[in-house]
Amino acid sequence: MRLAASQLVVQKGIDPVTASKLGGWASPKVMMDTYAKADPSHQVIDDIFG
């Protein structure tokens, strides 16, 4: 559950500091090191650069 929640909030654009506080992680670094994964799609690049 924490994996899905952490990925969802980051994908939705919630900053890691806020997400880690909402999820109860000790720090944003702990959350990102443990749960964050790269997005394998090119959609992120397309969204940023058009």
| Region of residue 33 (phi > 0: left; psi between -120 and 50: alpha; otherwise: beta) | alpha
CA pseudo-torsion sign 12, 16, 18, 19: positive
Which pLDDT tens digit goes with each residue over 24-34?
889 999 888 88
The parts of the chain modelled with pLDDT lower than 50 are none
Q: Give pLDDT, residue 34.
A: 83
Q: Give pLDDT, residue 36.
A: 75
Domain residue ranges of the chain, discontinuous segments joined by +? 2-49
Q: How many angstroms separate the CA atoms of 3 and 35, rounded?
A: 6
